[in-house]
């Protein structure tokens, strides 16, 4: 592996799904529900039991509290869940422990308590640094509240902060996009995720767009927004290391690298997915269904499948090409018993001629333009 991103393939990651939200965002398609204190207490007991039922002691170097809004948990809840992880797994001393947080539920005292409980990294869901865009997204915070939250996180002692930002929002122009990204870099996070908004069929945002006459900018403007955003982060000293992710000083998301490098992770909680030793599974999605299964000591896995060698190879290519480092052609081919150049080389030639894909030091890598058209390039591997 390149020296720029350390390989951590011998250890696994843990994903902990916390499904509760204080309000449901108009665009959201994640597995979540409105916060209820009594239900939260039952859920924490259930996820602790599921974690404690895992007894093989594998080495863990990344833990990710996702949601939902995991920051709705008390520090005591987080501490108990992390203690369960340490009981069932061999957690490294330098484990990266990320917790997602929204600006409206962020206070300096709460962040300090979470850091004391074992959180080492905060991922803040800002989504836009323009108030009219936040309103359109149905977000519960303002830009000033986002800035206040970032100050609170830093003042609490967090030295590893990631910010989520969305691009290609309803009614967004390229000028507004650049303004939003510029405001983000002024806040100086260590890491940022820049996602293109996806509008799901049953989301309230789709209905609101129809009522209000909002539309998404044309595809060519979306491409421009993506490139503009990365130009801003480049100039601010961030390094792009994945299609949608940039960081300072090597502050890559260790946990997300598990996904992109097609390494092992285990998910706990309702709707959580896992990928371990070539087997993929998914937990019961519904919150009370998950809790009831735990309470009655019933299996919580609702779907499980062993992947074929072909599926594993395809997924490893798809995920690996998301990274700037790309894939090691010989190493990956040897791992799956395939000569990648013989099998895929002819189909990739047109993309190399167009400057969408390059080979560098024995690795296939998408260029920045290639990342915009990654779905086209990926068709070669289907």
List the Cα angle 110/111/112 in 5-degree steps: 90
First and final C-alpha spacing in the chain:
25
Q: Name the token pair of 173.
A: 């122009």
Distant-in-sequence, close-in-space partners of 26: CB < 8 Å, separation ≥ 6: 137, 138, 203, 204, 205, 208
Q: What CATH number belongs to 309-381?
A: 1.10.10.920
Q: Point out which residues pair with 161 in neighbouring strands.
A: 122
User: What does the DSSP assignment read for 88-128?
Assistant: HSEEEEEEEEEEEE-GGG--HHHHHHHHHHT--EEEEEEE-
- pLDDT tens track for 191-224: 999 998 865 556 655 556 555 555 565 677 889 9
- pLDDT tens track for 259-300: 999 999 999 999 999 999 999 999 999 999 999 999 999 999
CB atoms within 10 A of CB 208: 16
Q: Name the token pair of 158.
A: 């967090």
Over residues 302-308, mean pLDDT = 97
pLDDT for residue 219: 72
Over residues 169-181, mean pLDDT = 95
pLDDT for residue 21: 81
pLDDT for residue 4: 33
Band (pLDDT 50/70/90 cuts) for residue 144 is: very high
pLDDT for residue 157: 99
Is a pLDDT exceeding 60 seen at residue 61? yes
Please say whether the beta carbons of 166 and 136 come within 8 A.
no
pLDDT for residue 204: 59
Phi then psi dihedrals of residue 170, to 5 deg: -55, 125
pLDDT for residue 250: 86
Average pLDDT, rounded, for the chain: 91
Over residues 131-145, mean pLDDT = 94
DSSP, collapsed to helix, strand or coil, labels residue 14 as: strand
168: left (phi over 0), alpha (psi -120 to 50) or beta: left
Over residues 44-68, mean pLDDT = 96
Is a pLDDT exceeding 90 seen at residue 304? yes
Query: Is pTM, for the whole model, over 0.85?
Result: yes
Domain ranges for the chain = 12-260, 309-381
Band (pLDDT 50/70/90 cuts) for residue 382 is: confident
- Measured CA to CA, the distance from residue 193 to residue 196 in angstroms comes to 10
Q: Strand order in 239-242's β-sheet?
A: 239-242, 245-247, 191-196, 161-167, 121-127, 90-101, 59-67, 12-18, 265-268, 273-276, 279-283, 301-306
pLDDT for residue 220: 76
Is a pLDDT exceeding 80 seen at residue 5? no
Cis previous bond, 68, omega within 30: yes
pLDDT for residue 50: 99
Band (pLDDT 50/70/90 cuts) for residue 28 is: very low
Band (pLDDT 50/70/90 cuts) for residue 3 is: very low
Over residues 79-85, mean pLDDT = 99
Q: What CATH number belongs to 12-260?
A: 3.20.20.70
pLDDT for residue 197: 86
| Two domains, one topology: 12-260 and 309-381 | no
């Amino acid at each position: 592996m390149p020296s720029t991103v350390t390989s951590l393939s011998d250890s696994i990651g843990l994903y902990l799904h916390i499904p509760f939200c204080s309000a449901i965002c108009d665009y959201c398609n994640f597995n979540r529900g409105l916060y209820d204190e009594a239900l939260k207490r039952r859920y924490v007991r259930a996820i602790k039991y599921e974690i404690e039922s895992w007894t093989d002691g594998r080495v863990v170097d990344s833990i990710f509290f996702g949601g939902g809004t995991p920051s709705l948990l008390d520090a005591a809840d987080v501490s108990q869940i992390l203690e369960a992880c340490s009981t069932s797994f061999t957690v490294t001393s330098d484990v990266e422990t990320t917790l997602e947080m929204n600006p409206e539920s962020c206070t300096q005292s709460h962040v300090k308590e979470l850091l004391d409980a074992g959180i080492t990294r905060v991922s803040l869901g800002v989504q836009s640094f323009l108030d009219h865009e936040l309103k359109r997204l149905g977000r519960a915070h303002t830009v000033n509240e986002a800035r206040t939250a970032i100050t609170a996180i830093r003042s609490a002692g967090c030295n590893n902060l990631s910010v989520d930002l969305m691009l290609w929002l309803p009614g967004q122009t390229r000028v507004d996009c650049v303004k939003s990204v510029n405001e983000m870099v002024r806040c100086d996070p260590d890491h940022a995720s820049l996602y293109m908004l996806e509008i799901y069929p049953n989301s309230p945002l789709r209905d609101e767009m129809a009522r209000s006459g909002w539309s998404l900018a044309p595809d060519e403007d979306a491409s421009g927004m993506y490139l503009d955003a990365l130009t801003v982060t480049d100039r601010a000293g961030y390094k792009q290391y994945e299609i949608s992710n940039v960081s300072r000083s090597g502050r890559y998301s260790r946990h997300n690298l598990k996904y992109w490098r097609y390494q092992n992770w285990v998910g706990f909680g309702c709707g959580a997915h896992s990928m371990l030793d070539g087997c993929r599974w998914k937990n019961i999605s519904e919150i009370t269904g998950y809790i009831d299964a735990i309470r009655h000591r019933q299996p919580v896995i609702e779907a499980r499948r062993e992947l074929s060698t072909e599926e594993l190879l395809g997924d490893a290519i798809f995920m690996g090409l998301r990274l700037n480092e790309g894939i090691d052609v010989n190493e990956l081919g040897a791992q799956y018993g395939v000569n990648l150049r013989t099998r895929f080389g002819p189909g990739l030639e047109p993309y190399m001629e167009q400057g969408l894909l390059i080979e560098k030091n024995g690795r296939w890598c998408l260029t920045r333009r290639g990342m915009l058209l990654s779905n086209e390039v990926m068709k070669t591997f289907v």
